[in-house]
Structure 1
């Protein structure tokens, strides 16, 4: 009985390490992960390696087609738009709920302060606190299933960003100002305005990311 938690912990540790390396751009899109390679690299049994791979597949960090080796997902322009469309749908519902209660999550404020303290950072350095800001909004409504769903989307956004490290999709100063405006709208209880502003906040990076992964950007990419 005591070996089960230890095994589960080992699976999580391996998955966490692989995920962090992928999201740092160490493994580009379509890099393959076999059970044998992972077992050898982390000195574990193949069932443990398989479980770690399957965990990352379930998070949409890796993909495994029928009878194929698991690979790092390589997202294209329409994937980006679909990810951001789903993000917007989830976040809008959250913003309406938070504004109704005039509840500004402490986690979002903390992430905002972290963004404000970044100095001379690259575009990729802003990704973690930016995503934590939005994740904190979603987490604050207390729905584990919604948080898990949104967390998967966050991983995929980071996956896109890992492919284009160093690119400034949106200047950090603008992100900070727009986040602050969202928090002010929540505090003011104006859910409709917060929901509408979220569209503007997400549409610019969405279309610039579409262009960065080889697509044709919409007009939002050029909005000042």
Structure 2
């Protein structure tokens, strides 16, 4: 905990707190629209409000939180353009990791274990567990690159994805039909068919983006008509 680090605490405390909050968003503990109380968080994390505000500035720059004058700081609710930007990033880094990353036996075994979790979650009808497995699989894909910079970028993207997933609460089957596509991706990697795996992943990302945008458009139309 931050309070145990003493006066010579982490050199980038604001960035560290931002990473803690980002992880909570990625884990579904902080949901879109949630107000982030400076008083409660500074006490819980053992840091000053100024340090917490530094973290909020970092997260606002990543579109993870919204700062509303005279109201406070709230976890963001991503819109259509946010979704497009997420998928611009994902289309650039994930297929590249599939094409040129190091697919070690250990990495493939880890992916197989994630697919097993996803299949079990689908059988149990657990949407949160399917979402967790989905995110773990795509994190593992980017980890093939061996780049800590890309892994850090992907962590931010996946936190934003978690916020987008909340908009799909009315479509509980959203994750279920991507389980098989993830399994197919891993099978192609095991077979050494990197080109097919990358092309399939690109198609997968295009389909997911279109589905999310369609849902957001439909939800916006319903809200406008109510």
TM-score range, shorter chain: 0.7 to 0.9
**1:5 aligns to 2:9 (yes or no):** yes
2:217 partner SS: coil
Question: 2-side partners of 1:166 and 1:4: how far apart?
Answer: 47
Q: CA deviation at 1:201?
A: 1.8
Question: 2-side partners of 1:59 and 1:166: how far apart?
Answer: 26
Q: 2:129 — aligned with what? A: 125
Question: 2-side partners of 1:208 and 1:169: how far apart?
Answer: 12
Q: CA contact under 8 A between 1:123 and 1:167: conserved in structure 2?
A: no
Q: 2:222 — aligned with what? A: none
Q: 2:144 — aligned with what? A: 140
Equivalent residue for 2:82, pick from 73, 79, 99: 79
Question: 1-side partners of 2:209 and 2:173: how far apart?
Answer: 9
| TM-superposition CA deviations, 1:123-175 (whole Å, max 9, x none) | 33311110110101111321011111111111111111123335235352x33
Q: 1:168 — aligned with what? A: 172
Q: 1:196 — aligned with what? A: 199
Alignment of 1:66-105 (within 5 A): 69-98=72-101, 103=104, 105=107
Q: CA contact under 8 A between 1:56 and 1:62: conserved in structure 2?
A: yes
Q: Which deviates the most, 115-124 or 12-21?
A: 12-21
Q: Report the CA distance shift for 1:60/1:111 in structure 2 as closer, same or farther (over 3 A).
A: farther
Q: Which deviates the most, 20-29 or 179-188?
A: 20-29
Q: CA contact under 8 A between 1:36 and 1:46: conserved in structure 2?
A: yes
Q: Note the residue ranges of structure 2 that are not aligned, 5 or more in a row.
A: 220-226
Alignment of 1:176-191 (within 5 A): 176-191=179-194
Q: Note the residue ranges of structure 1 that are not aligned, 5 or more in a row.
A: 217-224
Considering only aligned residues, what root-mean-square deviation do their CA atoms show, in Å? Answer: 3.6
Q: CA contact under 8 A between 1:39 and 1:46: conserved in structure 2?
A: yes
Question: 1-side partners of 2:167 and 2:44: how far apart?
Answer: 24
